[in-house]
Chain A
Amino acid sequence: MTLVSVEGLKKDFDGLSVLSDFSLSVDRGSFVSLIGPSGCGKSTFFDLLTGAIAPDEGRILWEGRTISDLSKKAAWMAQSDLLLPWMSALDNALLPRLSPKKSDRERAMALFCELGLEGFEDYLPYRLSGGMRQRNALARTIMFDRELILLDEPLSALDSLTRQDLQGLLVSLQRDFGKTIVMITHDVEEALVTSDFVVVLSDQPMSVRSSYELIGTKPRLRDDSYVVGLRREILDMLGGHGP
């Protein structure tokens, strides 16, 4: 069942067409990754979804009903963790609860245990490693309590080991917390390891070049022949315009 879809989205910047007649639909409970060349308009697409900018044309539908944007429906996690340096890790995670109750606090504490942040609740962000900061941001994203999660290259600033670790967490976020995830990534392998659907995008104006429905248990092994084959195919498709 489709949770969110966009139809005929169009956005120009100073005469440059970034998105033109762009359509996409995302099923409830699925994990969709968007891959495309740098500067193809992926972030603009997210900005349109979150309502940071308005489309010139087109519409966004939530469960079949047109809405202006997803700012009240989706949680968002950016490339940088966006933790507030003056707040403890726990308070950062509690930010989406505007007036946190005791139950919210307990839930955040439990989340810290699940994400391997137990004992770091009172730490200020500068004392946390890159991976821990991103886990902290993930905890904050979960605390939004929204069904849809928009991930904008959430792991791109991390080293490969931490990244692999967090890819597993993203999968469990979908599976264990019942979330629907749309992720922008420039890492084809990451998309293949974590996603149910991989959408390959073309350069500006952005359009869907190809999409893949993936099979098998997640997180997939990166040296699995299925993953390796698809990776080669997608990279060949992207050619010189690789992400």
Chain B
Amino acid sequence: MRISIPVSVGIFLLLLWEMGCRAWAVPVYILPPPSEVLCTALSQYRILAYHGSVTLFEILAGLALAIAVSIPMASAMFLFPWVERALAPFLVASQAIPVFALAPVLVVWFGYGIESKVIMATVIIFFPLTVNLLEGFKSCDRRHVELFRMMGYSKYGTLKKLFWPWALPYFFAGLKVAVSVATIGAVIGEWVGAQRGLGYLMIQSNARLKTDMVFAAILWLSAIGLVLWWLAGIMSRRYAPWKDRG
């Protein structure tokens, strides 16, 4: 039931799209029908897989970097309120800046290689991770904190044994959001300047009016996002199962 409803809706929309393209004889370079997109996605899988692997690597590297930044940042913001007061405005401001505005500058700073795309993905990912983790720390039950204080735990001992496990479900919720939006950062970076990646492939195909390839790249990008989201869900259930047990 949980799967069948979205699958049915998806199939219905695809059928509508397919029939619309055929009924109005829409040229393929304007809007290819889903059957054409699927055909291209499968027949050109070598090219798509090559560029997809580059984009996936950028996303994963961005994810790793964002995790490495967000955990100490959220911990410091939680343990030392003055750090939160000092950083919070910049954290919010970093999300108020459109990533499109940042991309050209990052390409100038870090070049046309994957570095600028990894940074782009990091910029997008670290915000939901940091904010969710911080919220997780703050949501900890006051009576548990009281219990730990009475047991004589230090601030760091409490962080390790209470706050961190408590915030883990929040962290994974942030991770699920993060992986869903991570593709945006990587692809925008590739649009601005790259020699590889699905974003690069989309720009190149678009210039040659190979719209079916653009859609095939979008399909692969969606698949990457979906798989990462699914993996984040599995990790959440594996490492923070108490959330679902109530």
Chain A residues close to B by CB (< 8 Å): 50-52, 71-72, 74-76, 78, 80, 82, 84-86, 95-96, 98, 124, 126, 144
Contacts and interface: CB of A to CB of B under 8 A. Distances in A.
Contacts of A144: 150-151
B143 A78 contact: yes
A173 B149 CA distance: 23
20 contacts: A50-B150, A52-B149, A71-B150, A76-B146, A82-B141, A82-B143, A84-B144, A85-B242, A86-B165, A86-B168, A86-B240, A95-B151, A95-B161, A98-B152, A98-B153, A98-B157, A124-B242, A126-B246, A144-B150, A144-B151
Give the interface SS of chain B, mostly helix, strand, loop or mixed.
helix
Given A98-B157, A126-B242, A126-B245, A82 B144 contact: yes
Given A126-B242, A126-B246, A82 B147 contact: yes
B245 A85 contact: yes
Nearest to A71: B150
Contacts of B106: none
Contacts of B218: none
Nearest to B154: A98
A55 B242 CA distance: 37
A74 B150 contact: yes
Contacts of B143: 78, 80, 82
Contacts of A74: 150
B21 interface: no
Interface string B158-177: 00011001001000000000
Q: Which of B143, B150, B242, B245 has the most CB of A within 10 A?
A: B150
Nearest to B149: A71
Given A126-B245, A126-B246, A84 B162 contact: yes
A126 B246 CA distance: 8
Contact of A72 (B146, B152, B242, B246): B152
Given A72-B152, A126-B246, A50 B165 contact: no
Contacts of B157: 98
B217 to A, nearest CB: 41
Given A85-B245, A86-B242, A126-B246, A75 B162 contact: no
A103 B162 CA distance: 24
Contacts of B144: 82, 84
Contact of B146 (A50, A85, A95, A98): A50
Contacts of B141: 82
A100 B38 CA distance: 59
Contacts of A124: 242
Contacts of A85: 242, 245
Contacts of A72: 152
Nearest to B242: A85
A109 B200 CA distance: 62
B149 A84 contact: no
Nearest to B148: A95
Given A80-B143, A126-B242, A126-B246, A98 B150 contact: no
